[in-house]
Homo-oligomer: A and B are copies of this chain.
Amino acid sequence: MKPTGPIPADFVPARGQLLIGGARAEALVARAGDTPLFVYDMAVVERRVARFRAAFPSIDLHYALKANPFVELVKRIAPMVDGVDIASMGEAWVALGAGVTPDCLSFAGPGKRDSELEVAIGQGVPINLESEGEAERVLAIGNRLGRTPKLAVRVNPDFELRGSGMRMGGGAKPFGVDAERVPALVRRIVEAGAEFRGFHIFAGSQSLDTEAIIEAQAATIALAARLSEAAGVEPKRLNLGGGFGIPHFGGEAPLDVERIGAALEAGYAGRPAVLRETGFCLELGRWLVGECGVYLTRIVDRKESGGQTFLIVDGGLHHQLAASGNFGTVVRRNYPIAVAEKFGAEPDETVNVCGCLCTPLDRLGDQVALPRAGVGDLIAIFLAGAYGASASPSAFLGHGPARELVV
């Protein structure tokens, strides 16, 4: 038997059933039409937002749309947050279609095309500049269109977020402008007549190290102040990035978000004079929506091989690549998993849960302890709210995309 990650505390057994938004898994599948199905429980998101608001009363909350761009979810989350951060104009259209105003967007990403920049400037979408070359392209397009671009500078900080699953800053990076070159770029933008909005400083993501986040946020404020003084500007906004992880695997513990909030509130209250008029924001994706999602997939075969039991389901890595251990992880570990109609029951056996794809990579549960399940039963895989449907190769092997449902 191998360990699985912790099931989010939002999901508690109700007479042996998994309820999502108060409904049974089978009822949700019937509503959506079929499996495989992602269900997103917006009450979970509301709880995360409320927790953030309580812990960070002075800090704006942005949603990093890349975590989950399903438009029905975006429509529901948009009114709960103060801004939406996008990484392509494709994501911009989703946000605009969900009712977000252009000024509440911010457009980051290292490879923005001229065609995207034109639309962004034309629509009044603020842009986070990733390089001096991009700045020149933006200024030229603004001149050509007769529009004033709204520009922030993404900074490649001179520190890292320790213990983050993905380092976005520190050392040689494709993201942002190295800190020492930022003041010159800010002066260039201001002199060219663009609207300077502030800084975007993103040191890493998916961190479960409370102290490391507190340290990185303090370093971010200090860096923003230094850059502002060197450039002679008082920025309107400081986006401190995100980086709040959630536990995926056995042995991982959640962040102490309240402690981070207390530290950041103190940092905000005591911020250097040059940041006096600066609004602070955090940009969260996985922490807001990751735990709201459950991937439901039906067992189509139960078989034995080499003394092991295999449950073969109708879903797989084409919908949940990360849960198969094939996206951004070196060692495959088990996401939390359950039998939906025997939720909370004691395990009866150790099984492998494999997807329907004809590749050995397609394993969703490796030697996991579950109550006995057979053909027709629903398997639930948790933590499916972020980097699931949209971050998986849905065309692979021709089984088609999953359904998605917001409750």
Contacts and interface: CB of A to CB of B under 8 A. Distances in A.
Interface of A: 66, 69, 86-94, 108-114, 130-134, 156, 166-168, 171-178, 300-308, 310, 312-314, 316, 321, 326-328, 330, 352, 354-363, 375, 389-400
A390 B399 contact: no
A130 B175 CA distance: 47
One complex includes copies of this chain to the number of 2
Contact of A394 (B167, B352, B358, B393): B393
Contacts of A112: 300, 356
Q: Most chain-B CB neighbours within 10 Å: which of A111, A131, A398?
A: A111
Contact of A301 (B94, B134, B300, B389): B134
A132 B305 CA distance: 11
Contact of A110 (B89, B175, B356): B356
A166 B399 contact: no
Contact of A305 (B69, B172, B307, B357): B172
Contact of A111 (B109, B174, B301, B321): B301
A130 B301 contact: yes
Contacts of A316: 111
Q: Most chain-B CB neighbours within 10 Å: which of A156, A168, A358, A390?
A: A358
B398 A354 contact: no
20 contacts: A69-B395, A89-B398, A91-B398, A110-B301, A110-B312, A110-B356, A111-B355, A113-B356, A130-B303, A168-B360, A173-B360, A174-B303, A174-B305, A174-B310, A175-B358, A178-B304, A390-B396, A392-B393, A393-B393, A393-B394
A58 B399 CA distance: 34
Nearest to A109: B358
A178 B357 contact: no
A111 B313 contact: yes
A48 to B, nearest CB: 22
Contact of A360 (B166, B314, B393): B166
A273 B379 CA distance: 47
Nearest to A309: B172
A92 B399 CA distance: 10
Contacts of A176: 305
Contacts of A330: 330
Q: Across the A-B interface, give the 3 residue pairs with the lowest CB-CB distance, nearest first.
A: A111-B356, A90-B398, A172-B306
